[in-house]
Amino acid sequence: MFKPTRMTRVAIAGTKELMGPVISVLHKLNMIHITDYNEETEDFKIGKPLKPASKLSEHLISLRGISNQLGIAEKEPKAKFQVKELPVQIDERITVIQREVASRFDELRSIEFKIKEKEDLISAVKPFMALPLSLDSYHGYDTIKVHAGYIGEDIETKLAKITRDYEIFDGEYEKRTVFALFIPRGFEEEIQKLLQELRSYVELKVPELKGNPPVILEELTKEVSSLKEKYLSIRTELDKIKSEYSEFIMAADEYLSMETQKAEAPLRFATSPNAFIIDGWVPSRRFNVLEQELQKSIGDQVYLTKLEEEVNEEEIPIELENPGPSKPFELLINTFATPKYREIDPASVIFITFPLFYAIMLGDVGYGIVVAAMAFVIKTKFKTGGLNALALILFLSGILSILLGVLYGEFFGFPLFNVEIKGELEHGILGIAGPSIAGFHFPIHRFESVQPLLLMCLIIGMLHVFLGLIIGFRNIKIEHDLKHAIFAKGSWMMILIGGVAAIAKLMPALMSRQPVPSGDPVFLGGVALAIIGIILLIKGEGFISILEIPTLLSNVLSYSRILAIGLSSAGIALAVNTLSMNLFIRPHGVLLGGGIGLALVGVVILFIGHLINLLLGILGPGLHSLRLQYVEFFTKFYEGGGKKYVPFGYIRKYTEE
Amino acid sequence: MDPTQAGMVAIGAGIAVGLSGIGAGMGEQAIGAAAVGAMAEDEKFFGKGLLMTVIPESIAIFGLVVALILLFVF
């Protein structure tokens, strides 16, 4: 908690024959973060991959190709494959599966092509259904030219000016006139000209087929449907292959990935003709495990040592270490930046502040329940990864929102408890008065208590920013020294405390148009403290840092968004409720006073309105709560820029030893 | 407070929120576009990008604070 895992730098050296076994042990332990060797010298070169690497990656490529074609997605395995049996199975099966899949896909492609061809023919034949001619009568003349097409105007009068020696057929297809003109070739030039001048003319190519259009059409349609059937049956076969082999393919993929990783590991080592050296980091508390395992599996021939020399802090890989509940919040930390080795890891702080801010903003029993339930479903569906972490964060935030919702007395924007507003009693859903906790009477009606809530938000902001400064103080003290810490962060703390004290006394006086409280010791003390802080700041960071002072004010004021987002969310809920209740469900104060139809409209408005508000209610509070962490809180102490700890190894999912 | 005065206060509050919102939006537009561009090149810029993007938002918050003071103090 609060600090990244302690790391120890280790070196492992041995003769080259031991490289394979050592790699196996390390890979199985999934513990060492290998530092890539990349400064070749005369004695030490970058290692060469182990022998099976090229064959393994070849297999892996064809396997990935198959799984891409079949569209195999990751899922929870039903049974695990034995690693011992996999190599033989892979050699046997991969070529077979590949052949089966490839031949079927080839067939699919050729069928697709044929279907396209036939469908093109069908659309070419269709217009000729309108004409009483067999398709062969359009072809094979020596002295006659055939023109066919759509036309939207009278053509015969114009033809008559050229010649009377022609025959024309016409008919209607899809509300357009289709015609076929048979005319001696001698008039070709004039006819071409005439047709070009006709705006409505669209040429039709006569398909080179024999027979009557209706008969041909029927045949073609039959052929297409039989092709489609064939296509579907091949698809079903592929689905069968997919369901039969998908687990095997996933397992083989896992096995091959692991073996490739091992085979390519020497590319990260320093090797001489006869020996190798691995440079890397392991979590300090697990160093013993590494030592024991190497001793047990390899023996004394391999040399393992801790390297104690000073290294650049940025070289040390970072693994965040947080207890279960705050673990998901590491996602938010890593999204921003991975901390440096000696920095505070703020995941455990965010574990409290993020859901708290979220809940103060959302604060509605109904929305809280929906958010928590949704998060719960996502959490059970995705057992690992970023989505799981996000769901856990959302779940916690939802639960807290329910709690805050009780304090605000809100259920989907409806009042939960009976409450008196401006002398009028508002009936709540539960029909009882709100709870009293430690002398406070709840619910706090948000619209009626804007001022105290605003004050509360600003106080929260001040505390949060101050906490950030404290952590920043600690970070700088460790990285540099106490003096630097006082100049860089202590000065800001003084300005913050002094400024807040002074403003707290000044504002009420200004608002009630009283003179400046120059005699008040708190006011004077605050001003003095702030001035000392400013002097320290200028001394430490230079005169230009004065420009930064207003940022502190805007940082604290920024927390008023907690109230603002909350009010807008509650406001939308209230508007939706009022609209649907007054206009549709209870017009004139009577249930269903406007009839069933209007009531239904009311229900739709209620549903859609709350759905939209719920979506906004997840996005808004989530992003703004995060922003307060990132912008207002983190900037006070967090630098980041650490390298993530990526141990050499693999977490098995589909296979077992 | 007579109704005219109350109306003026309400209009003033509205203008404070509205104009500061437009200002924040104008600032955010340019930064947001640049941040998305940076993220397209390297996803690690998400944190910094979000941080930069929301900086002008403070202007909107100032407007909001002014509006709240207008509404609840006067």
Where are chain A's structural domains?
Answer: 140-205, 450-557
Which helix (H) or strand (E) covers residue A342, if one does?
Answer: none
Q: What is the residue type of A469? A: L
Instruction: State residue A429's pLDDT score.
Output: 80
Q: Is A630 exposed, middle or buried (0-12, 13-18, 19+ CB in 10 A)?
A: buried
Q: How far apart are CA A181 and CA A144, in angstroms?
A: 10
Residues of B in contact with A557 (CB under 8 A): 58, 61-62, 65
Element spanning A364, H or E: none
- Give the model's pLDDT for residue A384: 77
Helix axes of A213-264 and A19-29: crossing angle, nearest 10 degrees: 110
pLDDT for the residue A74: 76
Q: Tell me what pLDDT residue A251 has.
A: 87
B51 in contact with A at a CB cutoff of 8 Å? yes
- Architecture label for domain A140-205: 2-Layer Sandwich (3.30)
- Interface size, chain A vs chain B, as Cβ–Cβ contacts under 8 Å: 43
C-alpha closest to that of A52 among A300, A287, A212, A262:
A262
pLDDT for A471 equals 94
Total Cβ atoms within 10 A of residue A264 = 17
Q: Cα(A272)–Cα(A379) distance, rounded to whole angstroms?
A: 50
The predicted model scores a pTM of 0.75
| A634 in Cβ contact with A329 (< 8 Å) | no
A564:B51 CB<8 A:
no
Of A335, A451, A558, which is closest to B61 when you measure between CB atoms?
A: A558
Report d(CA A395, CA A348) in Å as an integer. Answer: 16
Q: A180 burial class (0-12, 13-18, 19+ CB within 10 angstroms)?
A: buried
**Structural contact between residues B20 and B62, judged by C-beta atoms closer than 8 angstroms:** yes
CA distance readout (Å), A178 to A140, A175, A197: 21, 9, 17
Write phi, then psi, for A270 (nearest 5 degrees).
-95, 130
Closest residue in chain B to residue A508, using alpha carbons only: B73
Can you point out the beta strands (E) in A418-536?
419-421, 424-426, 436-437, 440-441
Q: Which of A330, A331, A335 to mutate to test the interface with B (most CBs of B within 10 A)?
A: A335
pLDDT digits (tens, 9 = 90+) for A50-80: 877 788 888 888 888 888 888 887 777 777 8
Q: Answer whether A471's CB lies under 8 Å from A344's CB.
A: yes
Instruction: List the single residue in A450, A560, A626 with the smallest CB-CB distance to B72.
Output: A450
Chain-chain contact of A560 with B55 (C-beta, under 8 angstroms): no
Residue to test with chain B: of A332, A555, A561, A568, most B Cβ within 10 A = A561
For residue A503, give Cα distances in angstroms to A506, A508, A513, A522, A524: 5, 9, 15, 10, 11
Contact yes or no for A631 and B62 at CB 8 A: no
Chain A residues whose beta carbon lies within 8 Å of the beta carbon of residue B13:
none
Contact check, Cβ <8 Å, B47/A631? no
For A218, A503, A516, A517, B47, the CA distances from A512, given in Å and listed in that order, are: 92, 14, 11, 12, 43
For B35, phi then psi, to 5°, come to -65, -40
CA quadruple A622, A625, A627, A629: dihedral, nearest 10? -130
- Distance of alpha carbon A373 from alpha carbon A354, whole angstroms: 19
A513 min Cα distance to partner chain B (Å): 11
Name the DSSP class of A200. Answer: T
The sign of the dihedral angle between the CA atoms of A249, A252, A258, A263 is negative
Query: Of A51, A21, A19, A46, which Cα lies nearest the Cα of A35?
Result: A46
State yes or no: pLDDT of B65 exceeds 90: no
Report chain B residues whose CB lies below 8 A from the CB of A631.
51, 54-55
Q: In B, which residues are within 8 Å of A558 by CB distance?
A: 57-58, 61
**pLDDT (0 to 100) of residue B73:** 66
Task: For chain A, list residues with pLDDT below 70.
Answer: 587-589, 593-594
Tell me, what's the pLDDT at B33?
93
Q: Which residue has the tokens 């590491």?
A: A330
Which CATH superfamily does the domain covering B11-73 fall into?
A: F1F0 ATP synthase subunit C (1.20.20.10)
pLDDT at residue B74 above 70? no
Task: Give the per-residue pLDDT at A568.
Answer: 85
Residue type, A274: N
